[in-house]
Amino acid sequence: MPLHPFVDPAGRLRSGWWIAAFLALLAALLLPLLLLTRRRGGEVSLLEQAALVLVASLACQALRRRPVSDLLGPLDRSWPRQWLLGVGSGSLLMAVPALALGLAGVASWRINAGGATTFWSTLAVLAAAAAAEELLFRGFLFQRLLDGLGEWPAQFLIGALFLLTHSDALRDLGALGYLAAANIFLASLVFGLAYLRTGSLAIPLGLHLAANVMQGPVLGFGVSGDLQPGLLVLALDRAPAWLHGGRFGLEASLPGLLGVAALVVVLLRWRPRAGETRRGANSGGASPRP
């Protein structure tokens, strides 16, 4: 029996068409907002971007007649616990390489007297950025790729897309850009593995946010090339840029790369407790469908 181009043998619309519908809806929501903000001489904020991705995702979930918990993860007591686990892991992901640089005499810090005045506004921006990126790259789009292709094809496709969205920041890094690109790609795998192990966006959201906050507003490094005042003022010794990442941040450093690679290994070996099993084990979402 020939394969139907639109529906699978169970009579469900194929994942590729759901992806197309999601992207079309997202574009339809984004276009008028872009026109409006450009007319006003502004740009679409990260909070608006996160809201648009969430609305498009929820609309597609409703069309699929699937609950919100399929998108965000079980909304029970485990969600905040997993989010806090992500926050702790993301903080360590940046704090450990920074500590190593400090002990090696490469980096030192002093308290920024005015850092607290900008910390909360920077935190709000980074929270919106993490929400927008995780909803887009580990939300509906990723989950439909999992259904259609399986874990690793979905991971590599999303990793490539995640890297592409950072290409402007990588453009002027020269040879250091290869180190930063590897770090960003592995970070995408980390966020994806955290979702796959729990079936929830809680850990990826907490991990992504905390890594950026610890790297930038707390420790004073750049965040993907964006350098903002932090609670601490960073001073770097005359060491090669690949050791500390330069203006780009720890994401472009060898210690940062080793840290994210170690977290990939940890997540590959991690077996969640009962009730916190990976998505594929519960729904078959990690296995290809015809």
Q: What is the mean pLDDT of residues 189-218?
A: 97
**pTM, 2 dp:** 0.90
| 284 pLDDT above the threshold of 50 | no
Q: Between 129 and 282, name the one with better pLDDT.
A: 129
**Residue 65 in domain:** no
Residue identified by tokens 């699937």 is 66
At residue 282, the pLDDT reads: 38
Burial class for 2, CB neighbours closer than 10 Å (0-12, 13-18, 19+): exposed
Alpha-carbon distance of 263 to 278, in angstroms, equals 17
Percentage of the chain lying above the pLDDT 90 cut? 76
Q: Which two tokens stand for residue 212?
A: 């950026």
pLDDT-derived band at 149 (thresholds 50, 70, 90) equals very high
Q: Which two tokens stand for residue 136?
A: 């887009």
pLDDT-derived band at 226 (thresholds 50, 70, 90) equals confident
Q: How far is C-alpha 37 from the chain's CA centre? A: 26
Domain that holds residue 212: 76-283
**Residue 119 in domain:** yes
Total number of domains in the chain: 1
- Cβ(20)–Cβ(145) below 8 Å: no
Q: What is the mean pLDDT of residues 200-211?
A: 97
Q: Which two tokens stand for residue 68?
A: 């919100």
At residue 117, the pLDDT reads: 87
At residue 277, the pLDDT reads: 56
